[in-house]
Amino acid sequence: MTTAIEPFDAVDLIRAKRDRRELTSPEIAWLVDAYTRGYVADEQMSAMTMAIFLNGMTRREIRDLTMAMIASGERMDFSGLGKPTSDKHSTGGVGDKITLPLMPLVATFGVAVPQLSGRGLGHTGGTLDKLESIPGWRADLTNDEMFAQLRDVGGVICAAGAGLAPADKKLYALRDITGTVEAIPLIASSIMSKKIAEGTGALVLDVKFGSGAFLQDIERSRELARTMVELGEDAGVATSALITNMNVPLGLTIGNANEVRESVEVLAGGGPADVRELTVELAREMLALAGRPDVDVEAALDDGRAMDTWRRSIIAQGGDPDAALPVAREQHVVTAERDGVLVEQQALPFGIAAWRLGAGRARKQDPVQHAAGIELHAKPGDAVRAGQPLFTLHADEPARFERALEAVEGAWRIGDAGEPVEDGGPLIADRIGR
Ligand code: URA
């Protein structure tokens, strides 16, 4: 039996990156392919990802890495739809339910939205977990079903199939357990390989910064956004990014079913001001990149057109848009200890608390409890009175309240009128792109 001769040796490439040498295009293409087929071992790839974490990659190397991960799987093509496509990716945050109202809002204007999403792990919940709190709703669609829904309804939110960028799936799981998630070349190539393989014509990135975000520092978020916008444009995808504030939870709900309820409020023309603002701004970006810059986005929220698209999309995926959403068995209300102004409400501790209540999962195979989560009754800047409810914890098991309360200890503060509010500034801090 003859064995194929491999053109490179993983150890040579690890040494090269360790010693700050730029890897060539054929080296990167081979590395990703050899890792995906199991020739390069996990321990070798762990060393490589740590070398990349420490020494970085050039723009050309990042592009090669992204293209190699795309080449590891299928590439979708929506050109047969006969309408433009536009998608959004968020780096994730506490209370970030924007995809839910955004998809139908954009689809209402004749721009198809193929939103392939994931389930959550850790304190930022997954879009599919939220939608699965709607009775009957189904995340897993075949490519034909997805295509039909894009044609007939105009938008779809469904599970990304295993066929898209399988190299990323393997690499991301490895990074997760080797302390190499937070490297910009690795994050950028991971996100963009999936989005480019998905076949969208335009892409808007919501890159978050602040305590509840993946990268806390705004400068690092800007660098990630610039890197991803370049990768998208290099691959022929019209791409832009908003840099948004995740120091405070988004909206008034954190969880799954409660976030669906809040999204429906936004689709009915109401909802919290920050959720509406971000939905509207991202929709304008997505529509402008897809060649529809002049439409009245807010009118479609206020006159029921976006709600109509939402209802059709839920029904198309087996869900009942009128069904009652699950409600938790137990509640625990936390009240203000004095009169004053809420000057602080840190996103990360509230995200962790919601997770401990059962809204998120610790391991991939765990189920989420759809009714678990947190309802906020006040936001930073609001005047509060002693005894007034500040937030309510919802859980199916009361035993979960204690650890959730530990997580939020010291995470909010009531100050005096006139004291500066510590919310990290405006919701939308910057825009990057053409
Ligand atoms: N999300 C991804 O898909 N990949 C990363 O590396 C980080 C966040």
For the annotated catalytic residues, the residue numbers are 89, 168, 175, 190, 194
Q: How much is the pLDDT for 2? A: 65
CB 112, CB 85: distance < 8 Å: yes
Residue nearest atom 6 of ligand 1, based on CA coordinates? 187
In this prediction, residues 282-296 reach a mean pLDDT of 97
pLDDT tens, 349-376? 999 999 999 998 877 778 899 999 999 9
pLDDT tens, 6-64? 999 999 999 999 999 999 999 999 999 999 999 999 999 999 999 999 999 999 999 99
pLDDT band at 124, cuts 50/70/90?
Answer: low
In this prediction, residues 231-240 reach a mean pLDDT of 97
In this prediction, residues 414-434 reach a mean pLDDT of 95
CB 25, CB 64: distance < 8 Å: yes
Domain at 330-415, CATH from 3.30.70.3190, 3.30.365.10, 3.90.1170.30, 3.55.40.10: 3.90.1170.30
Rounded distance from Cα 44 to ligand 1 centre (Å): 21
List residues near ligand 1 (CB under 6 A).
172, 181, 186-187, 190-191
Q: How much is the pLDDT for 121? A: 60
Helix spans in 290-400 (H) = 297-302, 305-316, 347-354
d(CA 413, CA 399): 25
Cα distances (Å, whole numbers) of residue 285 to 222, 263, 433: 17, 19, 10
| Strand intervals (E) in 163-313 | 202-209, 238-245, 253-255
CATH number belonging to domain 10-56: 1.20.970.10
Domains of the chain, residue spans: 10-56, 79-322, 330-415
Classify residue 3 by burial, with Cβ atoms within 10 Å: 0-12, 13-18, 19+.
Answer: exposed
The contacts of residue 380 (CB under 8 Å, 6+ apart) are 248, 342, 343, 344, 345, 421, 422, 423
Supply the mean pLDDT for the chain. 95
Q: Which atom of ligand 1 is nearest to the CA of 194?
A: 3
pLDDT band at 73, cuts 50/70/90?
Answer: very high
Domain at 79-322, CATH from 3.30.1490.20, 3.40.1030.10, 3.40.50.2000, 3.30.200.20: 3.40.1030.10
In this prediction, residues 160-182 reach a mean pLDDT of 90
d(CA 179, CA 209): 20
pLDDT tens, 313-347? 999 999 999 999 999 999 999 999 999 999 999 99
Q: How much is the pLDDT for 427? A: 98
Does the model's pTM come out above 0.85?
yes
Beta bridge partners of 374: 254, 393
Assess whether the region 10-56 and the region 330-415 belong to the same CATH fold. Answer: no
In this prediction, residues 74-101 reach a mean pLDDT of 95
d(CA 331, CA 345): 20
